[in-house]
Amino acid sequence: MTEALATIFPPNRITRDAEDLDHWGSDRTTAYRAAPSAVVFPETLDEVVALVRLANARAFALVPSGGRTGLSGGAVAERGEVVVSFDRMNRILGFDPAERLVRCQAGVATGALQAFAEERGLFYPVDFAASGSSQIGGNIATNAGGIRVIRYGLTRDWIAGLTAVTGAGDVLRCNNGLVKNATGYDFRHLLIGSEGTLGLVVEADVRLANPPQPQRVMVLGCSAFDALMHVLGAFQQGVTLSAFEFFSDSALAKVRAARDLPPPLRDACPFYALLEFDESALDAASRAFERCLERSWVADGVLSQSDAQAARLWALREGISESLAPHTPYKNDLSVRLSDMPKFLEAADALISQAYPEFEVCWYGHIGDGNLHLNILKPSGWSEPEFRAHCHRVSPELFKLVAEYSGSISAEHGVGLLKREFLGYSRSPEEVALMRGLKRTFDPNGVMNPRKLIP
């Protein structure tokens, strides 16, 4: 196969070095061992087309690889696949200030796109802790969300066009940056969130926004889960929130220890809400805060007085995932509608405390848009496989509860390898059958990221 790949790529853009295979063949999921047969680094659309056609002709599988910050194994190559790294397709190809549209290659880092926008007095609002290394192609493949979805939506909402190579090796130019285009099925939205199972996203037209006003950050100490939802309700009246995040005291303890950070408030609380909003809403926010204090939903709070302090408060939330990594967490990424959140939280909390009486459980996430991250930490006496198997047995109980609320078993991290067997808790048999049909249409020989997403 290396010989065939060498007909497309020069030697410096193919590697079979063991360290490279491990590096480019895995993402941030720890449950799998990377075992690709090669990694290639295309630089042009034509090379990607040639590669996909070769994969069809020679019957080998491809795994797309962006910033590899995923948490569901979507970018893991564990069965001799060829990894397609977009690291060398990291150029911004054009910018139109009147349309506020950037054309970029799939390997542009999310952070680089944010910086590009900022240099032009604009704003790319999709943001998350991993944005420094994640790539726009991967963001599209997983429809990445993050911390400002409550105000700005998901990656899907910012993609005005994309160029993709289907599993059959055909080039699709979807929507071409148009605002209006009423000509039938929009394949752009089918490819967004398809986790590389239908084709490879090679280029995208990304919309930028005007930057928001200066922002203020508040961290509030809350007495209980249900208080968080009351606090959200109080602030939604009159304050346009850019973020409404939460974390439990256990999650806070981990990030503080890992980064040596001071506590946000004098006394510890079971839960904390982190809010970000326009500075002009400060009076309305202060009134909402008073109301929350009066009703005892909030015990105390801190308001950022500078950008540096705002960044320090954000670090308490954004650093959590990384600080949990050494504890071998079993991750859940759930969502329900906000109106169902109070009841769901009560039921999920009861289920989790019963299923994991001796385990440390960290709750956090983007509760303002209905998304909860639930990390169960491995007790030191347990082996990793034993712990994972135990959690895997509990998952169906939790997912059954999610299904009762018509929620999602993967709100923003994708399905990948990790949640494939559980897809039926969020998608009906009819939907899964349609997914299989679409997969066959786009990728008749099954070369695109096999065994991901679809059970």
Residues 6+ apart with CB under 8 A from 438: 190, 198
Tokens of 126: 């999709």
- The site for ligand 2HG (CB under 6 A) is made up of 71, 128-129, 320-321, 331, 365, 373, 375
Q: How far is the CB of 374 from ligand 2HG (least distance, A)?
A: 8
Minimal distance, residue 82 CB to ligand 2HG, in Å: 28
CA-CA distance, 220 to 288, in Å (whole number)?
Answer: 12
Q: How far is the CB of 319 from ligand 2HG (least distance, A)?
A: 9
Of the pair 41, 246, the CB lying nearest ligand 2HG is at: 246
Helix (H) or strand (E) holding 438: helix 429-442
Specify the residue, 64 or 365, whose C-beta has the smaller distance to ligand 2HG: 365
Distance CA 5, CA 281 (A): 57
Within 10 A of 212 (CB to CB), how many other CB atoms are there? Answer: 17
User: Minimum CB separation from ligand 2HG for residue 39, in Å?
Assistant: 25
> With respect to ligand 2HG, which residue has the nearer C-beta, 201 or 324?
324
* CA dist., res. 112 & res. 129, Å (int): 14
Question: Please, which residue, 128 or 442, has the CB nearer to ligand 2HG?
Answer: 128
For the CB of residue 195, give the shortest distance to ligand 2HG in the complex, in Å: 16
CA-nearest of 165, 189, 206, 202 to 85 is 202
Closest approach, Cβ 6 to ligand 2HG, in A, equals: 39
Minimum distance from residue 124 beta carbon to ligand 2HG (Å): 18
In this complex, which beta carbon is closest to ligand 2HG, that of residue 148 or of residue 216? 148
Residue nearest to ligand 2HG (CB): 321
C-alpha–C-alpha distance, residues 298 and 222, integer Å: 5
Residue with smaller CB distance to ligand 2HG, 369 or 443 = 369
134-to-75, 108, 151, 181 alpha-carbon distances in Å: 12, 8, 21, 30
Nearer to ligand 2HG, 82 or 243 (CB): 243
Q: Which of 288, 273, 277 is nearest to 235 (CA)?
A: 288
What are the C-alpha distances in Å from 128 to residues 168, 315, 396? 33, 11, 28
- Closest contact distance (angstroms) between CB of 9 and ligand 2HG is 34
Which of 331/439 has CB closer to ligand 2HG?
331
Residue 25, token pair as written in the block: 């063949």
Q: Contact, 391 vs 359, CB < 8 A?
A: no
H or E element: which one contains 63? Answer: strand 62-65
CB of 362 to ligand 2HG, least distance (A): 9
Q: Which of 262, 276, 278, 258 is nearest to 220 (CA)?
A: 276
State the maximum Cα–Cα separation within the chain, in Å, rounded to a whole number: 72
Instruction: Return phi, psi of residue 384, to 5°.
Output: -65, -45
Q: Which is nearer to ligand 2HG, 20 or 322 (CB)?
A: 322
